[in-house]
Amino acid sequence: MQPYALDAAFAAADAMPAERVTARYAALAQKLSNLTELNAAQVRGTLSFHEALRDQIAQDELAGVAVRCWPETFLKRDCAVCASSSLLCDDGIPATCEADVHGVLSALLLQGVGAQATFGADLVAADVAQNTLTFWHCGLAPLSMCDPSFAPRGALHSNRQRPLLMEFPLKPGRVTIARLTQAGESGAYRLAIGSGEMLSAPMQFSGTSGLFRADSGAAHALQVIMQEGLDHHFTLAYGDFAEALALFAEFAKVPIIRL
């Protein structure tokens, strides 16, 4: 793991050639129909930071990045980093917010057993009667996870009212959930694994979110999460990878938590 100073990344973003940022803006405007309605300078702040991250990733051959986004990107760059993470995840480079290194490691484990794009999300709602869980984050899910019945759009951060975030509901399909965690008194690594169906449902929150039905049931998954004191972030990927992850955990002698 290699730490980097945020201010150095901000300086690289400030020095980014305007034509690179313009090209990224034009490409994204083809995918987000309302992009031109958002504050252009702030959107370009997000995209110049994205280009700076891509340069650092290429230069140092990084497998993923965990960005401390709160509050520095808002205070020092007047923008959000979420859309940058979304774009990186769609390119197969795990990118998490809130400096969540374990989120990146969880994503790399999923990709190591065959997953493609990943999404680091919070569990924000549970409806035991309906047997559903809602996973959400500000707006960093990759565009490839967008429900095809919905036109994705750019959005403002719900707290700071700054762009650029992605906004859409997650598409239906089989999903695997993973979290490499040190939660617990011993601090030893364990791997939480879950699986189920992402349901076709209206967008429940601003940003990116999905309504999930766990194979084990919402009540069981919620009970395990609470009893084990798991972290608030979970990594999602489309596809069935639970047993492959379990085989890895057995090989690596990492205890499993079944969600």
pLDDT tens-digit profile of 132-150? 999 999 999 999 999 999 9
Q: CB neighbours of 171 closer than 8 A, spacing ≥ 6? A: 145, 146, 147, 148, 198, 200, 238
Separation CA 163–CA 66 (nearest Å): 19
pLDDT tens-digit profile of 188-231? 999 999 999 999 999 999 999 999 999 999 999 999 999 999 99
Classify residue 39: in a domain, yes or no: yes
Classify residue 47: in a domain, yes or no: yes
Classify residue 245: in a domain, yes or no: yes
- Return the CATH number at 127: 3.20.14
Alpha helices in the chain (DSSP H): 6-14, 18-29, 40-60, 72-77, 82-90, 101-112, 218-228, 242-252
Enter the pTM of the model. Answer: 0.96
CB distance 113 to 180 below 8 Å = no
Range of the domain at 235: 6-258
Question: How many distinct structural domains can be found in the chain?
Answer: 1
| Per-residue pLDDT band at 160 (split at 50, 70, 90) | confident
Classify residue 1: in a domain, yes or no: no
| Per-residue pLDDT band at 50 (split at 50, 70, 90) | very high
Classify residue 121: in a domain, yes or no: yes
Classify residue 109: in a domain, yes or no: yes
State the sign of the Cα–Cα–Cα–Cα dihedral 46, 79, 177, 144. negative
Nearest to 184 by CA among 224, 222, 151, 147: 224
Separation CA 221–CA 64 (nearest Å): 28
Distance of CA 93 to the CA centre of its chain: 11
